[in-house]
Structure 1
Amino acid sequence: AALRVGRQLSAAADADDLLRGLAGALGEALRLESVEVRGTAPATTATWGVPTSAPVERDLEHGGRTVGTLALTARPGERLDARSSDALDHLAPVVAAGVALAQGTADLVRARDAATRARLAERTLIRRELHDGIGPWLTGLRLGLQGARNTLERDPAAAAAVLDALQAEVTQRVEDVRLLSRSLLPPVLDEQGLHAALDDLVRRTSASGFAVTLDVADDGTLDGLDARVAAAAYGILSEAVTNASRHSGTDRCTVSAAVEDGPDGPVLVVVCDDEGVGLAADRTPGVGTRSMRERASELGGRVGILGREPAGTRVRAVLPLVPVLDAPHGGPVGGRLDEDAA
């Protein structure tokens, strides 16, 4: 029985095949009616046979933690006797190792997919900035320089005024490029944590003329976050602040971040509020909005973009402290928040 079960660890083609093989090998070796192997992670379940009675369940432990459960039924008219129970005691660690291996493989695949989606979101953001911002501005710069050149000889003062205006615009665009580069995860986020990264975001944005007030408790709760959660929170707030500075029509906003209790465990809640013109009735979500939602949903969280009373916009994201990489869109922390949600 041990040889038959152990052979599945090297013969399986993928995680699903491994779990099915373990269930089948265990059922055949011990002459059972049915076997169900259930991992603690979603989508890590395999069955062999069809049960006709209530199963006997046993926990599977690996590395000091429970990784799943075995549910077994004996053939009709038979029972799991002392010899079968003893055999299960010896085989359970082998099955547990297989379940842990299958779950680790599944986690790796999900993490790789999440990383791919994050890279695509960042590329989309860069493409939007180049296409809608820097590209048209460079075209305008070229036309402005040509206009200054055309008027240089007959009206030097007008040419100088055009050049002064272009120089001021160049200075602003240089700062825009710096903000864009830092919005794609600044070094301080990895080195000092989310709190320090938000301080840096506030300082840089305020220096550009758009004031940002940071409301974060100075208790260290934001410094030990999972790197993926911290990166998603920073990316969402950075995009929200950028949108507020460009589209709200006001000169300031407030950013907050805190760990709160959620229905399924602690969550990180980040909010960006402004008192600007609010949401247009006919607005179409852009790349930035989709990017924020993708960052949250790929970890099992959600983002809501809400109108505020009497005026303004709120961007609110809820992220689980332990990422759920295989969660459906919207995640387990409450589903997607629509724009008209409270």
Structure 2
Amino acid sequence: MEQLAYPLSTQTMELDLQISSARSSSTHHQKRRKQQSQSRAKQERGKRPGYSKATSAGAFACFSLAGNDVNMYHRSSFSTARKEEVRGVRMKKACLRCRLLKRACSGDDPCKTCLAAARAAAGTRALMWMECIRPSFQTMNIFENANSIIDQARISNIMEDLLQDDVSLDFHIPFALNVEAASSHLASWLSDDYAPPTFSVVGIFSCSTNTNLLENALDPSLGRDLRLFVHLTTHLYTTGMQGGYQEYTHEEIRSVRDCVGNRLFRTLDPLLRPSEIEASEDKLSKLRSLFLLLLGITVGMRYTLGDVS
């Protein structure tokens, strides 16, 4: 039995070696055929028109399920006129309807989307708003392109001089000098159409009291700009932009008014962002101060429209 075991073991080993060699040879031939197939495929793709090799890192090629190459679409660059049109729309920002529908706003007044909606609803009983609303104060900034006859240094000097002179009030302010009392009283004054006029809103926003009300919750410079804006606007309105103010001409006063008006409007949109308000420690005080700021600008604009060129 021992003599038969040795020859059987040798035969088994030889058989295993033959099987292993055959498998190795088969695997080698398969890899070689695969490499040759890939090489031929690359050569065929290289001969096709419009094919380009991707050499940079992160590049990719499009292909179809049928194995045909797909030419990628490349958008042509905008013309100069189109670039200016897009820049203008971005500055004005999309209207409220286009924002809700997530459509590109044409920037017209009304825009194409709002005009199409109005035409579609004409003669029907559809309940919808027709206005093309742009919720941005910058779009209402009539002072941005105002002509100024003096430079910025001269405007700053005049502003510093005018801020030294306070406005005297000939009435008693009917609320405590704090943001909470002022905002509550002025809000009730707005809602009551039959309230007797016991004070002047223009006078309140024209005196230094307004600066003190806003300097804690907002930038102190906003209070100073608002004070000059309301005071100079109403002065130009009542005098018909004649005679100037103190030793300054009416052109100089108008340039100062346009400067502070432009700064106020450019500041409003960033201040009214939800993220900006949420970041405040005292949100209620911030909202009350913003209400006073908006009310003061509205009062000043009431006396401004029509005299800006």
| Same fold per superposition (TM over 0.5) | no
Is the strand fraction higher in 1 or 2? Answer: 1
RCO greater where, 1 or 2, for CA within 8 Å and sep 6 or more? Answer: 2
Please report the TM-score for the alignment, with normalisation by the length of structure 1: 0.25
Greater C-alpha radius of gyration: 2
Is the helix fraction higher in 1 or 2? Answer: 2
